[in-house]
């Protein structure tokens, strides 16, 4: 078999759909997109590639022009992979309180990392004001360096990546047998993009949004616990591109439940994954156990990133 690929970009998308039959034996099936196998190690590689390709195609990003984004983690890694292959310098602003490991990873990938002083957060705890400050710095850098500003929370390409990529891949593998889709929400690109496509194909598919327990804003609750382990999700805001009409159900997952499921995925399935992936799988099991989907449903979810990032 010839498995030669042109570049790391060919490793983005087309991820395997794994049966999690050891973690949850039938008759229900839980199937999960192995997004962590992509070169940046997460689901955000898809958004990064689509954003850059769309910006180039629209003439918003010229060959060799720098790219700027405010990110602490997975989007930055995805952008670094894509920018390196396509020849764009990448500059990322990061609130200083984020884990140093993430900044180191971005530097190793050749990105210029600008650490932004925090407004009111502390080491390991990044607040909304800290994010606003790092965003402001990114905007200024984009202007000063004549760079393209990604703006992942507002960029429609992040949704398109999933509506035209992840979702059709799930549908191709599972098709009419699919009963539900479950995913945690950061920018909402994954949930909104995948749900929109699946509901077009089969309106009865139940789409459930996963939130950290105590930070269930999408479900309309007030925040009682803003600090949680589900990094990359549960920012305590309604993401600007959120589409409430797609969410049939909201499932809250506690830190303890995510940790327990993370251990189960490692020990039963041989998968060392991040916390949002574990929360997604836990929520999929809860949805099955609720009985709402009948006796032997098929539920699809997302394994967002590798556990090596934590
Ligand atoms: C680990 C992890 N899980 C889930 C998500 C959520 O993805 P989205 O931004 O598409 O909602 C992210 C986003 O950065 C992430 O880093």
242-290 tens-digit pLDDT: 999 999 999 999 999 999 999 999 999 999 999 999 999 999 999 999 9
DSSP 165: I
Beta bridge partners of 89: none
Identify the helix (H) or strand (E) that includes residue 136: helix 128-144
Hey, where are the domains in the chain? Answer: 8-43+156-309, 44-149
For 44-149, CATH number out of 2.60.40.10, 3.40.605.10, 3.40.50.1820, 3.40.50.1100 equals 3.40.50.1100
Distance of CA 67 to the CA centre of its chain: 20
What predicted TM-score, i.e. pTM, was given to this entire model? 0.95
Which of 151-160, 190-199, 218-227 is the least confident region? Answer: 218-227
Tell me, in angstroms, the distance from the centre of ligand 1 to residue 307's CA: 14
For β-strands 249-253 and 29-34, DSSP reports them as unpaired
Instruction: Determine if residue 255 is left, alpha or beta; phi over 0 gives left, psi from -120 to 50 gives alpha, anything else beta.
Output: alpha
Is it true that domain 8-43+156-309 has CATH number 3.40.50.1100?
Answer: yes
Atom of ligand 1 nearest to the CA of 47: 10
Helices (H) and strands (E) in the chain, counts: 9, 10
Distance CA 61, CA 83 (A): 11
**Cα–Cα distance, 111 to 104 (Å, whole number):** 10
Cβ(42) – ligand 1 distance below 6 Å: yes
Atom 6 of ligand 1, nearest CA residue: 186
The pLDDT score that the predictor gives to residue 2 is 58
Tell me whether the CATH fold assigned to 8-43+156-309 matches the one assigned to 44-149.
yes
By three-state DSSP, how is residue 78 classified?
Answer: helix
User: pLDDT tens-digit profile of 159-211?
Assistant: 999 999 999 999 999 999 999 999 999 999 999 999 999 999 999 999 999 99
Structure tokens, 100: 């140093």
Helical H runs in 145-185? Answer: 157-161, 167-174
Residues 4-50 have pLDDT tens digits of 889 999 999 999 999 999 999 989 999 999 999 999 999 999 999 99
> What residues are labeled active site?
44, 276
């Amino acid at each position: 078999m010839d498995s030669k690929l042109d570049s790391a970009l060919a490793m983005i998308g087309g991820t395997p759909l794994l049966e999690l039959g050891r973690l949850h034996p039938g008759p229900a099936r839980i199937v999960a997109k192995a997004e962590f196998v992509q070169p940046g190690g997460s689901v955000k590689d898809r958004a990064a590639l689509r954003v850059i390709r769309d910006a180039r195609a629209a003439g918003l990003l010229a060959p060799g022009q720098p790219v700027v984004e405010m990110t602490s983690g997975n989007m930055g890694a995805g952008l670094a992979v894509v920018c390196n292959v396509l020849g764009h310098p990448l500059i990322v602003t990061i609130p200083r309180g984020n884990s140093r490991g993430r900044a180191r990873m971005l530097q190793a990938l050749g990105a210029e990392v600008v650490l932004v002083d925090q407004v009111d957060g502390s080491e390991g705890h990044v607040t909304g004001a800290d994010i606003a400050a790092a965003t402001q710095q990114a905007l200024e850098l984009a202007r000063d360096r004549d760079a393209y500003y990604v703006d992942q929370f507002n960029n429609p390409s992040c949704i398109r990546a999933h509506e035209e990529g992840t979702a059709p891949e799930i549908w191709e593998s599972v098709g009419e047998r699919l009963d539900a889709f479950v995913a945690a929400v950061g920018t909402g690109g994954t949930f909104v993009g995948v749900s929109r496509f699946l509901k077009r194909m089969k309106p009865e598919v139940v789409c459930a949004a996963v939130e950290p327990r105590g930070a269930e804003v999408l479900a309309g609750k007030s925040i009682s616990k803003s600090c949680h382990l589900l990094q990359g999700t549960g920012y305590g805001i309604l993401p600007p591109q959120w589409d409430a009409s797609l969410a049939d159900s909201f499932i809250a997952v506690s830190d303890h439940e995510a940790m327990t499921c993370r251990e189960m995925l490692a020990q039963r399935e041989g998968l060392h994954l991040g916390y949002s992936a574990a929360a997604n799988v836990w929520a999929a099991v809860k949805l099955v156990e609720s009985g709402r989907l009948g006796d032997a449903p098929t539920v699809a979810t997302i394994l967002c990133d590798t556990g090596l990032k934590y």
